[in-house]
Structure 1
Amino acid sequence: MFQILLLLGSLLLREQASPAAPLVKGNCPKTCGNVTIPYPFGIGTRCFLDEWYEIICQESSSGTFAVLNKANLRVLNLSLPEEFPNKNGMINVSLPIIYSPNASCGGNGSFTPVSLKGSQFVFSDSRNVFVAVGCNMRALLRDTQSAIIGCESSCGADDTVVRNTSCSGSDGCCQTTITSDLQAFSVDFQADNGTVCNYAFLGDRSKFVSSTTDFNELRANGRFAAVLEWGVANTSDVALEVYYNNSYYSRDDSYYCSTRSFNSDYRMEMPFLQCSCSFGFTGNPYIIGGCEDINECEVPHLCNGTCMNKRGSFKCVASRRTTILIGFGAGLGALLLGLALWRLYKYAKKRKEIKLKEKHFKRNGGLLLESELSSPEGNVEKSKLFTSKDLEKATDNFSEDRILGQGGQGTVYKGMLTDGKIVAIKKSKVIDEGKIEQFINEVLILSQINHRNVVKLLGCCLETEVPLLVYEFIPNGTLYQYLHDPNEEFRVSWDTRLRIATEIAGALFYLHSAASIPIYHRDIKSTNILLDEKYRAKVADFGTSRSVSLDQTHVTTLVQGTFGYLDPEYFQSSQFTDKSDVYSFGVVLVELLTGQKPISSLREQEGRSLATYFIILMEENRLFDMVDPQVLKEDKKEEIESVANLAKRCLNLNGRNRPTMREVAMELEGIRKLPNPSGVDQNKENREATGSYDSAFTSSKANIEMDVITLSDVQPLLPSGTW
């Protein structure tokens, strides 16, 4: 009887619908076909915020459908940001497939780039995936910033048919993730298959299942569903919020706005403002007075018998009829049952947490790492397995106040361990389960690196959904900030720049030549060079680095890199070698010489690339036209010329003609020590330096903790721009 009455009361609660709240302005249309259109989007004059939010309702033989007019994209669904459950505002759209030019594809796709520039919309990096389909081809997705991504697809020697399998690159289909804040992109195709139709698309990963997708139908249709995230400009009146200094302040408690993502998994910074009705309110926060107060204790999904409403009291203000029915069926039995269920719930929750941690630990390769740690041959006693409680305590449960920075790979937090040691903790967005063994291998390798100019990996935690990496904390920002930030008070002298260059070169020489397994960094740039309290350099961000066995001549991977630093030879061939790191280091050398950014629109006549501009001026004997004026004041022209000539050799388009990092490190050390870096005396000193390098290398190669060169100290490795 008791259970029947409780069920009856619950059904009565479910029958009480939440009060209607306005979603549109005035008498504007609320829907187009089966799509609800909330403000700031709208249909008709004065119904939308600006031209980017205008919706056109179009008729076709298959029915009525909504179109985002400015972007000319069909809208499949449109949703407001929500606090419960936590999710960003989304627009599901139909995006055109990009075909390779000069090919007869016979579909309804496009050859032109896709652009949302000028809007407050971005392609969701957590919801979308970049897919390319074709045989023996490579597709590169370019955005308007500095990142490029791509993938390579083959079909085999005698197979030209795309097979619906894993889309791993060997079956005529490949896929990869995209960068965050992507608003516009174009696709370049490089193929060996003549005029055969190759195509690529950006699409909703939940809709794309490679094993069941009909690629012939997909190509002919010419479109695929994709997901946009949206907001409004920070300066827009419709925001209904006073936004200041990364905080939000409400005029009342009915709504709030923030530039942080509403997704609970990672609160990353967004390029726009999002607003949501607060807990206990419903409606549209983009309309003045659009969030209406509700009794959350009467709404089924907010209250199920008891609740904490927005005023903080633990009781349901239910209807009189509901109160009588629940009181009649409850009484003393409800109290006893409640206590028993509470204890059972606490026990079940604790067991569930333990099981979940065990599941995460196994999935993230914990058993493999434990076996390596216990192996006497492992030589990884310095690495440590942290528990999730250790790191939650160190970061105040990953408080937003502890965030050091955010990037495409994840979020970095500042933490303090129980022994008082300050650390940086990287929480990745996602990890491919198929690459767990590779991830563990990388942890084992990096945990053994103990070079003074490389950021130290202290350990990891594998009990969470995604692994947490623990690094030493580097307090003083990046080299990029000190060279290019106009507000930076610290001015970098020539001697300091030369010392930093020498330290970076020494670290790369160590990674390439002296570590037990050679490591290619693959993303050397000034934002990945950290500076400690004494402005000593440390190489950071090994998120894309690779270890290479001694019999390998190159590493072939998805094309990844940063415009301005990317080795042109690697870009063309997809074959990354140690000389590719040398090219990127050459760009950093030129940054130190000139104080200029690697990509700049101010160099339109000579080309935006700093490397190209530098080579042109070197060939015209105009080096000192681009050297940083502050450096020229120090009257070190011979040293500057020596470093410039070294940078020119590093930037040689033919990788074979570039020096090795060993030769680069030796030459820079020689320039620092010699009063006359050029001429016969320099050659003699270089030969002596070579001997000392060989001696140090031979005697210490077995020890992974060796300092390869007697250079000044530098910093540990961490994600770019997040320390």
Structure 2
Amino acid sequence: MSTVQWLLQISLLLWLSKGLAATQAKPGCQERCGDVDIPYPFGIGSAGCYFDEWFEVTCNNSTDPPKPFLKGVNLEVLNVSLDGTIRVNNPVLLSQNCSGKPSNDTQWWEGGPFSFSNTYTRFTAVGCSALVYIMQDDTVIGGCMTFCKKDATAAKKASCYGLECCQTQVPPGLLSFTANLGTFSDGSADEQEQCKFAFMVDQEWFISNVPDPHTVKDMEYVPAVLDWRIYNATCAASTSNLNTSTSFCGENTLCSTDTQTSSLICSCFPVYEGNPYLPQGCQGTQSIEEC
């Protein structure tokens, strides 16, 4: 490779990296709140900066650093990924007989295009004789139970398998449901009256940062991961070649639809990077030699 070709290649890669960094938010819209990038279809500011009201993000500048909040569900945003996930701070609301915490055994979720991730999030219960379950349309669709053994203590830094702690996955694509915390009779009235609580949590964070599940009782929030898609939309492309102006997604993208839910998600073609939801958001990453 000659010196001229090498310089051209470096210049092209620098230009591409600069372009990729500048195309996450819509032009003229705020790209970050504090330490968090806010890519389109999410956005801060006027209605033109986000896809619809569910994707509106507000920036609380009274904190240091400022904190972004997903306005539709009033949850702090920790990270947004264009692969269809968003990490949020989710309150630990469900509890019974816990000192310093109000008793609350039901939590309703209706999150528009957001559902708790079946891949990353776990519905978790801690305590003795705890019964947690998820209901939709008066039907139980998931849950787990904890038990305690006299003179036995659950191992620390262990996953929840039932002894003082249990976990269950959330059914995929669940846009609305009721989470419940109850108790069951195992012959010990004392265990039924002990503190028990439940929460949705990012399983990776939970394993890496919580050596003792009982410590979550003193936390106000824990990270959880939500899945998101664009609902009530179609790719609107007349052929399988979606690299056209008729596609909902931008150029050099793949538009994937779910006909059952009338939803879609966009992704860049291989060797392209960037934001597939913007018209020219996906840019090539191949070098001159590779091309």
Specify the TM-score bucket, using the shorter chain as the normaliser: 0.7 to 0.9
Higher relative contact order (CA 8 A, sep 6+): 2
Q: Counterpart of 2:27?
A: 26
Distance 1:211 1:51, change over 3 A: closer
Pairwise CA RMSD = 3.4
Q: Are 1:284 and 2:258 an aligned pair?
A: no
Q: Are 1:316 and 2:279 an aligned pair?
A: no
Shift of 1:216: 4.1
Q: Are 1:275 and 2:266 an aligned pair?
A: yes
Q: Are 1:126 and 2:112 an aligned pair?
A: no
Q: In proportion to residue count, which structure has more strand?
A: 2
Structural mapping, 1:36-435, within 5 Å:
36-46=37-47, 47-59=49-61, 63-81=65-83, 89-101=84-96, 103-107=97-101, 111-117=105-111, 119-144=112-137, 146-158=139-151, 163-164=155-156, 165-170=158-163, 172-184=164-176, 185-191=178-184, 192=189, 193-209=191-207, 212-235=210-233, 241-242=235-236, 249-251=242-244, 254-259=252-257, 272-287=263-278, 289-294=279-284, 296-297=286-287, 316-317=290-291
Shift of 1:44: 1.2
Q: In proportion to residue count, which structure has more helix?
A: 1
Q: Counterpart of 2:248?
A: none
Q: Distance in 1 between matches of 2:62 and 2:82?
A: 27
Q: How many residues align?
A: 268
Q: Counterpart of 1:571?
A: none
Q: Distance in 1 between matches of 2:238 and 2:203?
A: 35
Deviations 1:86-137 (A, max 9, x none): xxx1101111223234x234259965514134x1222111112221101123
Contact (CA 8 Å) 1:23, 1:284: kept in 2 or not?
Answer: yes
For normalisation by structure 2, the TM-score amounts to: 0.77
Q: Distance in 1 between matches of 2:209 and 2:44?
A: 39
Distance 1:292 1:183, change over 3 A: closer
Contact (CA 8 Å) 1:35, 1:76: kept in 2 or not?
Answer: yes
Contact (CA 8 Å) 1:23, 1:290: kept in 2 or not?
Answer: no
Which has more radius of gyration?
1
Shift of 1:76: 0.6
Where does structure 1 lack aligned partners over 5 or more consecutive residues? 1-8, 82-88, 261-267, 299-314, 318-723
Amino acid at match of 1:128: T
For normalisation by structure 1, the TM-score amounts to: 0.34
Q: Distance in 2 between matches of 1:78 and 1:42?
A: 11
Q: Distance in 1 between matches of 2:243 and 2:60?
A: 39
Distance 1:174 1:24, change over 3 A: same
Does the residue aligned with 2:24 lie in a helix, a strand or coil?
coil
Distance 1:23 1:234, change over 3 A: same
Does the residue aligned with 1:38 lie in a helix, a strand or coil?
coil
Shift of 1:179: 1.3
Contact (CA 8 Å) 1:133, 1:198: kept in 2 or not?
Answer: yes
Contact (CA 8 Å) 2:242, 2:253: kept in 1 or not?
Answer: no
Amino acid at match of 1:176: T
Shift of 1:244: 7.8
Distance 1:65 1:145, change over 3 A: farther
Does the residue aligned with 1:217 lie in a helix, a strand or coil?
helix
Q: Distance in 1 between matches of 2:69 and 2:123?
A: 23
Shift of 1:215: 3.0
Does the residue aligned with 1:44 lie in a helix, a strand or coil?
coil
Does the residue aligned with 2:205 lie in a helix, a strand or coil?
coil
